A and B are shown apart, each in its own frame.
Chain A
């Protein structure tokens, strides 16, 4: 039947979109590591892959929007769902933009910061990766969303703490660095940390959406 065919199509697109975001985070994490360890070829490859994933996410998001509006699917929930997709798309956009900044600005990163930055990237990516299952759960089991999003908040807090520690280390324990280099490092720490903030915003939205569905 036609309505079920369209419903299946929408579900496939949504799942595809979530998968793209998930993959994007993995690539971002790898990209940071490759940059820090000086693996230029791998880093450039990560940039290309992430750019493609970001484009794919945009296309999928637009297809979903079009389907929801033209077929008048879920008129009461449509607005919330599209806002969620917007927030998730924003995460992969940020990941792509921020990873490209590494290529454009080529920041000098002292070797003693590598492990901290890798850890920060992992925490940010974990925060985003925790949002994905919560988003999937919203569509099938809204009551379980709450128990899935608490990890997002945890990773976000840890990311904030680590970012703060990195910045303190740079400004207070590295006198050999020039002021411009310190500022540069500060911004790149922010570039990595900001992904966890975006994940937290998506988690907040999911929490409200889940409550609305269960009322």
Chain B
């Protein structure tokens, strides 16, 4: 039971590894929609577990030789602090190396407990942090050049090439996942190897010992991390540093698989020895660093025009900070675990603190009282904190989404209202233009009719005058004829028809004004309305008198009466009131 609880930190680290590193294998393929996430996660999970179980031993031994974390409590703390470091940096979107985190934590444990850190192994591991991305760069550049030449020569149809690349991405992804499991399981379960259960599981075709069972559990934890959290990281990796084509993605995954395989394969090491070359150290290397090196390699082949150097700088800072932060957190955590919870973090430290006789007995009694409840309480507290944080994050995200949605709706409504306003403005303008056009048309028609009528009248007049002058009638008859002529001329001078048409036009043009006038002053007579229209059109008193067939004096009196009717006081201007109506 206790072992299971301690193992949980390793499983958490495995989950973090899966969440962060699976994106290196299938990130571009999923991000560019070549492969669905579910399929990618399944393939990655299967091959990670296979790689971890059947080839994880080599790198685990190297990590153990760095500094053997010889107490379960210490192993738990080291693993937990690495996991917290990886999780924290993953949450902030930084690609982080699990290897660096675990190495930093182990060094922190060594410093706290006074255990010796094997300098040679540490140098090998730190050396691999430099050589692995360089190897990644080299292999990626080489593979990219080869692939490019191959594609140029064979002139494959782009659709067929797409199909081949999809298949290639799946195969390369499987290889990458296998290498990841083989190389990085040491980070997850390496510290627990000294405490591995002494059991064997016989599956018929193969047998798993205690260490392999640990690796299996670690592999399953990685698989859970892949399924539950890696989708988010997959959507951001790759395109952040260099925009990747599917061909580049396949090269990167292959390069990563090759480098990780080289650093985990005992048989390859033996092959190098057999041909007289020094073997590569079997150390866990960061798949993230290898991928970044590979991306750089491709970028250099392409001409380094599109590299996002700012992001590269951020990643490099992460590499320096990760082991430091992990080491510091581990150091302080070990202090708490040992002194507050009274859990043994190291056999060596325990030996140093051992006192004979009574102290030993009393320590034994205290441990029996405090260990389990303290661990359960601590673990429970962590879980609670995690759940509360997750809920809070979800709530905040929902609130942000809601506010964004409401802002978008507001913007949409504003735009809609603006569009409607524009439409109505344009419609009104059109109406106005149509009205003006109609008015002009009527004007011209009116003018034409006027001219025709005038011409007709004058022709009639002229023919009548001619008749009178040519006839031999008596003076009485002549007087009568002249009188008739005079009457018809006087009738014409009244301009009744023209005035009617004129008023009709004015009313049509100023329809809105007339409606407002009627609604505000319902008692206004039609004659007064005519007067108001003529005043609005800035006609003088004399012109108004002529148009209304009244005398100028009558116009003045009408104006006076109008002022009283409209309720104007002394000093207030009638024209201003009419204009501002």
Contact = CB atoms under 8 A, between A and B. Distances in A.
Interface of A: 1, 3-4, 6-8, 10-11, 14, 72-77, 138-141, 143, 213, 215
Contacts of B158: 74, 77, 138-140, 213
Contacts of A76: 32, 245-246
Label chain B's interface by main secondary structure: helix
Nearest to B165: A74
A11 B157 contact: yes
Nearest to A15: B157
Nearest to B160: A7
Contacts of A8: 160
Given A72-B33, A75-B32, A75-B33, A4 B163 contact: yes
A3 B166 contact: yes
Contacts of A73: 159, 162-163
A11 B155 contact: no
B167 interface: yes
A143 B162 contact: no
Interface residues of B, number: 17
A129 to B, nearest CB: 21
A76 B158 CA distance: 11
B159 A139 contact: yes
A141 B32 contact: no
A22 to B, nearest CB: 18
A74 B155 contact: no
A7 B156 contact: no
Contact of A4 (B32, B152, B160): B160
A1 B302 CA distance: 34
Q: Which of B156, B158, B167 has the most CB of A within 10 A?
A: B158
Nearest to A10: B159
Contact of B162 (A14, A74, A215): A74
Given A3-B163, A143-B152, 18 more contacts: A1-B167, A4-B160, A7-B159, A7-B160, A8-B160, A11-B157, A11-B159, A14-B159, A72-B33, A73-B159, A73-B162, A73-B163, A74-B158, A74-B162, A76-B245, A139-B158, A140-B156, A141-B155
A139 B151 CA distance: 12
B34 interface: yes
A74 B246 CA distance: 9
A74 B159 contact: yes
A143 B152 CA distance: 9
Interface string B159-193: 11011001100000000000000000000000000
Interface string B211-252: 000000000000000000000000000000000011000000
A215 B244 CA distance: 11
A92 B230 CA distance: 48
Closest 4 CB pairs of A and B: A7-B163, A75-B33, A3-B163, A140-B155
A108 to B, nearest CB: 37
Contacts of B32: 75-76
Interface string B139-159: 000000000000010011111
A140 B245 contact: no
